[in-house]
A = this chain, B = another copy of it.
Amino acid sequence: MKFAKIPMATINRLSIYMRTLQEMLEDDVDVISSERLAKQCGVNPAQIRKDLAYFGEFGVRGVGYRVNDLVVQIKDILGLNRPWNLAMIGVGNLGSALLRHGNFIKHGYIFTAAFDVDPKKVGKRLPNGVIVNHVDELEEKIKEKEVLMGLITTPASEAQNIANQLVLAGINGILNFAPVQIQVPDCCHVENVDFTIKLDSIAYHLSASS
């Protein structure tokens, strides 16, 4: 099953299912139907079953899904049954807010390195104990700290340059917060987080509907 081509959208939905299921666990729900889960996640029930069917059979007919088991299965599918070390490149407003943000650690993502070019920031110790390094030391530290993904929160003008360096350092997963499209070789997977694109989309909908 794992060899069929999986839609990107499926992968994203699996994360959403997982989150919702984790919340349900806390409310002591132990079995859930695709219908109820779908309502909670705002999707079609068949969608959920199809998404899961790409990877196996996880439910019990006539009953539903065991919440706890399904969380474990989804974690397995996504590769979340292990910690992932992250590096933050750019310790400005946004970068430092994210470094302090609890959601990363909660989901198994650990910042083990941080970089900036500002001499005032280099050498400082972050609340999580990580010391900010100069970008010149990127490759060295990334290897030392066994970083597997890089988060770019530099100004847009630096993002491509940093991405190149990350790739050279052997990183092949990048989460890019800078509002530019960065170009990387195929071996590297980039995801973009761009607030203003989302705002533009809202602006469009509000304008168009009025």
Interface residues of A (CB under 8 A from B): 2, 8, 11-12, 14-16, 18-20, 23, 40-42, 77-80, 84, 86, 93-94, 96-98, 100-101, 103-104, 107, 109, 148-149, 172-175, 179-181, 183, 189, 191-208
- A202: contacting residue among B189, B204, B207, CB under 8 A: B189
> Which of A8, A23, A93 has the most B CB atoms < 10 Å from its CB?
A93
- A195: contacting residue among B2, B175, B199, CB under 8 A: B175
Known contacts: A12-B197, A96-B97, A197-B12. The answer to whether A175 contacts B189 by CB under 8 A is: no
* Nearest CB of chain B from residue A176's CB, rounded to whole Å: 9
Known contacts: A8-B201, A78-B200. The answer to whether A172 contacts B206 by CB under 8 A is: yes
- A200: contacting residue among B80, B172, B192, B203, CB under 8 A: B80
Q: Interface of chain A, helix or strand or loop or mixed? A: helix
* Cβ contacts A to B, 14 pairs, < 8 Å: A15-B200, A15-B201, A19-B179, A40-B181, A42-B181, A79-B203, A79-B204, A80-B203, A93-B100, A94-B98, A109-B199, A149-B199, A189-B202, A193-B198
Q: Do B191 and A175 touch across chains, with their CB atoms under 8 A apart? A: no
Q: Do A195 and B98 touch across chains, with their CB atoms under 8 A apart? A: yes
Copies of this protein in the assembly total: 2
- A206: contacting residue among B40, B181, B189, CB under 8 A: B189
- Chain B positions within 8 Å of A8 at CB level: 201
